[in-house]
Structure 1
Amino acid sequence: MATKKKIETLTGDALLAKVKELENHSKEEKARACGYYTITKNGVERVNMMKFYNALIEAEGVQLDSNTNAQGRGGRAATYRISVQSNGNLLIGSAYTKKMGLQPGDEFEISLGRKHIHLKQLGADEEA
Protein backbone atom coordinates (compact mmCIF):
# COMPACT_ATOMS: atom_id res chain seq x y z
CA MET A 1 0.00 0.00 0.00
CA ALA A 2 1.49 3.34 -1.05
CA THR A 3 1.67 6.05 1.58
CA LYS A 4 -0.57 8.97 0.86
CA LYS A 5 0.98 12.44 1.17
CA LYS A 6 -1.17 14.75 3.29
CA ILE A 7 -2.27 17.88 1.43
CA GLU A 8 -1.93 21.39 2.84
CA THR A 9 -4.70 22.50 5.21
CA LEU A 10 -6.53 25.43 3.65
CA THR A 11 -7.72 28.48 5.59
CA GLY A 12 -9.31 31.85 4.88
CA ASP A 13 -10.20 32.80 1.33
CA ALA A 14 -8.47 29.72 -0.12
CA LEU A 15 -10.71 27.50 2.04
CA LEU A 16 -13.87 29.35 1.00
CA ALA A 17 -12.91 29.15 -2.68
CA LYS A 18 -12.20 25.40 -2.49
CA VAL A 19 -15.50 24.71 -0.68
CA LYS A 20 -17.39 26.69 -3.34
CA GLU A 21 -15.54 24.78 -6.07
CA LEU A 22 -16.65 21.49 -4.46
CA GLU A 23 -20.27 22.54 -3.84
CA ASN A 24 -21.65 19.26 -5.27
CA HIS A 25 -19.53 17.05 -3.00
CA SER A 26 -20.34 15.72 0.47
CA LYS A 27 -19.20 17.54 3.62
CA GLU A 28 -16.58 14.87 4.30
CA GLU A 29 -15.20 15.10 0.75
CA LYS A 30 -14.94 18.88 1.07
CA ALA A 31 -13.15 18.62 4.42
CA ARG A 32 -10.75 15.99 3.04
CA ALA A 33 -10.00 18.04 -0.10
CA CYS A 34 -9.25 21.07 2.09
CA GLY A 35 -6.75 19.08 4.18
CA TYR A 36 -8.87 18.53 7.30
CA TYR A 37 -7.96 14.92 7.93
CA THR A 38 -5.31 12.84 9.67
CA ILE A 39 -3.85 9.46 8.91
CA THR A 40 -3.63 7.14 11.91
CA LYS A 41 -0.72 4.81 12.71
CA ASN A 42 -2.68 2.02 11.02
CA GLY A 43 -3.02 4.07 7.83
CA VAL A 44 -6.70 4.87 8.34
CA GLU A 45 -7.80 8.30 7.17
CA ARG A 46 -9.93 10.27 9.63
CA VAL A 47 -11.72 13.45 8.58
CA ASN A 48 -11.73 16.15 11.26
CA MET A 49 -15.09 17.82 10.69
CA MET A 50 -14.91 20.02 13.81
CA LYS A 51 -11.64 21.66 12.70
CA PHE A 52 -13.09 22.05 9.21
CA TYR A 53 -16.26 23.73 10.51
CA ASN A 54 -14.28 25.99 12.83
CA ALA A 55 -12.00 27.03 9.96
CA LEU A 56 -15.05 27.79 7.79
CA ILE A 57 -16.61 29.90 10.53
CA GLU A 58 -13.36 31.81 11.01
CA ALA A 59 -12.94 32.26 7.24
CA GLU A 60 -16.43 33.77 7.07
CA GLY A 61 -15.38 36.30 9.74
CA VAL A 62 -17.74 35.08 12.44
CA GLN A 63 -16.39 35.64 15.97
CA LEU A 64 -17.58 32.95 18.38
CA ASP A 65 -15.11 33.66 21.17
CA SER A 66 -15.44 36.95 23.00
CA ASN A 67 -11.85 38.19 22.81
CA THR A 68 -12.81 41.83 23.27
CA ASN A 69 -11.54 43.49 26.46
CA ALA A 70 -12.34 40.80 28.99
CA GLN A 71 -13.14 42.89 32.07
CA GLY A 72 -14.97 41.94 35.23
CA ARG A 73 -16.77 38.60 35.23
CA GLY A 74 -16.90 38.35 31.46
CA GLY A 75 -20.09 37.48 29.68
CA ARG A 76 -21.70 39.42 26.89
CA ALA A 77 -22.04 43.18 26.83
CA ALA A 78 -25.38 44.75 26.02
CA THR A 79 -25.51 45.64 22.32
CA TYR A 80 -28.82 47.51 22.46
CA ARG A 81 -30.02 45.46 19.50
CA ILE A 82 -32.48 42.58 19.46
CA SER A 83 -33.91 40.37 16.72
CA VAL A 84 -37.38 39.05 16.13
CA GLN A 85 -37.47 35.38 17.11
CA SER A 86 -38.84 32.68 14.80
CA ASN A 87 -42.16 32.74 16.70
CA GLY A 88 -42.53 36.51 16.14
CA ASN A 89 -41.63 37.52 19.69
CA LEU A 90 -39.14 40.14 20.81
CA LEU A 91 -37.06 39.09 23.79
CA ILE A 92 -35.44 41.77 25.92
CA GLY A 93 -32.52 40.23 27.79
CA SER A 94 -31.75 40.41 31.48
CA ALA A 95 -28.82 42.82 30.90
CA TYR A 96 -31.34 45.49 29.93
CA THR A 97 -33.95 44.71 32.59
CA LYS A 98 -31.28 44.72 35.32
CA LYS A 99 -29.85 48.02 34.07
CA MET A 100 -33.34 49.55 34.21
CA GLY A 101 -34.06 48.07 37.65
CA LEU A 102 -37.12 46.20 36.37
CA GLN A 103 -38.85 43.56 38.43
CA PRO A 104 -41.03 40.60 37.39
CA GLY A 105 -44.56 41.86 36.80
CA ASP A 106 -43.58 45.41 35.73
CA GLU A 107 -45.91 46.56 32.95
CA PHE A 108 -45.32 48.69 29.86
CA GLU A 109 -47.37 50.55 27.33
CA ILE A 110 -46.20 49.86 23.77
CA SER A 111 -46.37 52.63 21.17
CA LEU A 112 -45.37 51.98 17.58
CA GLY A 113 -43.59 54.56 15.46
CA ARG A 114 -42.63 54.48 11.80
CA LYS A 115 -39.31 52.73 12.48
CA HIS A 116 -39.30 52.22 16.22
CA ILE A 117 -41.09 50.79 19.22
CA HIS A 118 -41.35 52.77 22.46
CA LEU A 119 -41.89 51.05 25.78
CA LYS A 120 -43.28 53.31 28.51
CA GLN A 121 -43.24 51.80 31.96
CA LEU A 122 -46.68 52.06 33.55
CA GLY A 123 -46.62 53.70 36.96
CA ALA A 124 -43.20 55.30 36.34
CA ASP A 125 -44.68 58.84 36.21
CA GLU A 126 -46.34 58.51 39.62
CA GLU A 127 -43.09 57.44 41.31
CA ALA A 128 -40.87 60.14 39.73
Structure 2
Amino acid sequence: MLTGTDLLTKVKELGDVSKTELATQCGYVSKKKDGSDRVNFTAFYEALLGAKGVELGSGGAGLGKGGRKLSYIATVQGNGNLLIGKAYTALLDLETGDEFEIKLGKKAIRLIPVGGSEEED
Protein backbone atom coordinates (compact mmCIF):
# COMPACT_ATOMS: atom_id res chain seq x y z
CA MET A 1 0.00 0.00 0.00
CA LEU A 2 1.40 3.35 -1.02
CA THR A 3 1.48 6.21 1.47
CA GLY A 4 2.75 9.79 1.68
CA THR A 5 4.35 11.36 -1.36
CA ASP A 6 4.47 7.99 -3.16
CA LEU A 7 0.67 7.80 -2.92
CA LEU A 8 0.18 11.38 -4.13
CA THR A 9 2.56 10.80 -7.05
CA LYS A 10 0.77 7.60 -8.11
CA VAL A 11 -2.69 9.24 -7.93
CA LYS A 12 -1.46 12.14 -10.04
CA GLU A 13 0.19 9.74 -12.49
CA LEU A 14 -3.01 7.67 -12.89
CA GLY A 15 -5.01 10.78 -13.71
CA ASP A 16 -8.67 10.40 -14.64
CA VAL A 17 -9.43 6.77 -13.73
CA SER A 18 -12.22 5.31 -11.61
CA LYS A 19 -12.04 5.42 -7.82
CA THR A 20 -11.82 1.64 -7.77
CA GLU A 21 -8.87 1.69 -10.15
CA LEU A 22 -7.12 4.40 -8.09
CA ALA A 23 -7.42 2.46 -4.84
CA THR A 24 -6.48 -0.83 -6.52
CA GLN A 25 -3.41 0.55 -8.30
CA CYS A 26 -2.21 2.11 -5.03
CA GLY A 27 -2.41 -1.27 -3.29
CA TYR A 28 -5.55 -0.86 -1.21
CA VAL A 29 -6.97 -4.29 -2.04
CA SER A 30 -7.39 -7.42 0.06
CA LYS A 31 -8.79 -10.87 -0.65
CA LYS A 32 -12.17 -12.01 0.64
CA LYS A 33 -12.69 -15.56 1.91
CA ASP A 34 -14.17 -16.52 -1.45
CA GLY A 35 -11.01 -15.34 -3.24
CA SER A 36 -12.50 -12.20 -4.77
CA ASP A 37 -10.95 -8.76 -4.27
CA ARG A 38 -12.15 -6.22 -1.72
CA VAL A 39 -11.16 -2.62 -2.39
CA ASN A 40 -10.36 -0.87 0.90
CA PHE A 41 -11.69 2.59 0.10
CA THR A 42 -11.66 3.83 3.69
CA ALA A 43 -7.98 3.02 4.19
CA PHE A 44 -7.18 4.51 0.78
CA TYR A 45 -8.93 7.82 1.46
CA GLU A 46 -7.52 8.06 4.98
CA ALA A 47 -4.01 7.54 3.57
CA LEU A 48 -4.69 10.09 0.83
CA LEU A 49 -5.87 12.67 3.36
CA GLY A 50 -2.89 11.90 5.58
CA ALA A 51 -0.55 12.38 2.62
CA LYS A 52 -2.13 15.80 2.05
CA GLY A 53 -1.61 16.73 5.70
CA VAL A 54 -5.17 16.20 6.93
CA GLU A 55 -5.24 14.00 10.01
CA LEU A 56 -8.55 12.49 11.00
CA GLY A 57 -9.11 11.92 14.69
CA SER A 58 -10.26 8.57 15.99
CA GLY A 59 -13.73 10.00 16.60
CA GLY A 60 -14.35 10.76 12.93
CA ALA A 61 -13.77 14.48 13.50
CA GLY A 62 -13.56 15.10 9.75
CA LEU A 63 -17.11 13.91 9.36
CA GLY A 64 -20.35 15.56 10.30
CA LYS A 65 -23.58 13.97 11.47
CA GLY A 66 -24.21 10.60 9.87
CA GLY A 67 -20.70 10.50 8.39
CA ARG A 68 -21.36 13.31 5.93
CA LYS A 69 -18.38 15.19 4.54
CA LEU A 70 -17.91 18.64 6.10
CA SER A 71 -18.80 21.49 3.76
CA TYR A 72 -17.00 24.31 5.63
CA ILE A 73 -20.04 26.51 5.04
CA ALA A 74 -22.25 27.86 7.81
CA THR A 75 -25.72 29.32 7.21
CA VAL A 76 -27.48 31.88 9.34
CA GLN A 77 -30.54 30.19 10.82
CA GLY A 78 -34.05 31.62 10.91
CA ASN A 79 -33.56 32.83 14.48
CA GLY A 80 -30.36 34.70 13.53
CA ASN A 81 -27.96 32.16 15.04
CA LEU A 82 -24.86 31.07 13.21
CA LEU A 83 -24.08 27.49 14.19
CA ILE A 84 -20.57 26.10 13.76
CA GLY A 85 -21.20 22.49 14.82
CA LYS A 86 -19.52 19.78 16.86
CA ALA A 87 -17.55 18.27 13.98
CA TYR A 88 -15.71 21.56 13.42
CA THR A 89 -14.99 22.21 17.09
CA ALA A 90 -13.72 18.63 17.42
CA LEU A 91 -11.26 19.22 14.56
CA LEU A 92 -9.75 22.04 16.63
CA ASP A 93 -9.86 20.05 19.89
CA LEU A 94 -12.09 22.70 21.46
CA GLU A 95 -13.62 21.91 24.82
CA THR A 96 -16.69 23.06 26.71
CA GLY A 97 -15.96 26.47 28.19
CA ASP A 98 -13.34 27.57 25.65
CA GLU A 99 -13.86 31.28 25.01
CA PHE A 100 -13.48 33.34 21.86
CA GLU A 101 -13.36 37.05 21.18
CA ILE A 102 -15.65 38.02 18.31
CA LYS A 103 -14.11 40.40 15.76
CA LEU A 104 -16.52 41.92 13.25
CA GLY A 105 -15.42 43.14 9.85
CA LYS A 106 -17.26 44.12 6.70
CA LYS A 107 -19.52 41.06 6.21
CA ALA A 108 -17.02 38.92 8.15
CA ILE A 109 -16.83 37.38 11.60
CA ARG A 110 -13.55 36.19 13.13
CA LEU A 111 -13.35 34.10 16.27
CA ILE A 112 -10.11 34.64 18.19
CA PRO A 113 -9.35 32.39 21.17
CA VAL A 114 -9.25 34.44 24.36
CA GLY A 115 -5.56 34.82 25.20
CA GLY A 116 -4.55 33.92 21.63
CA SER A 117 -3.41 36.12 18.77
CA GLU A 118 -5.10 36.81 15.44
CA GLU A 119 -2.12 35.44 13.51
CA GLU A 120 -2.44 31.89 14.92
CA ASP A 121 -3.73 29.18 12.57
Q: Which position in structure 2 is the counterpart of 1:50?
A: 42
Unmatched segments (≥5 aa) in structure 1: 1-8, 67-83, 101-109, 119-128
Q: Computing the radius of gyration over CA atoms, which structure comes out larger, 1 or 2?
A: 1
Unmatched segments (≥5 aa) in structure 2: 59-71, 111-121
CA gap of 1:30–1:113, structure 2 versus 1, over 3 A, is closer
Identity %: 50
Rounded Cα–Cα distance in structure 1 between residues aligned with 2:48 and 2:37: 21
Rounded Cα–Cα distance in structure 2 between residues aligned with 1:111 and 1:12: 38
The match for 2:75 among 84, 87, 97 is: 87
The match for 2:54 among 62, 71, 83 is: 62
Q: Which one-letter code corresponds to 1:27 in the other structure?
A: K
- SS of 2:23's equivalent? helix
Q: Which one-letter code corresponds to 1:55 in the other structure?
A: A
Stretches of 4+ moved more than 4 A in 1?
A: 92-100, 110-118
- Report the RMSD for the aligned CA atoms in angstroms: 3.7
Q: Which one-letter code corresponds to 2:3 in the other structure?
A: T
CA contact (8 A) 2:30 2:40 kept: yes
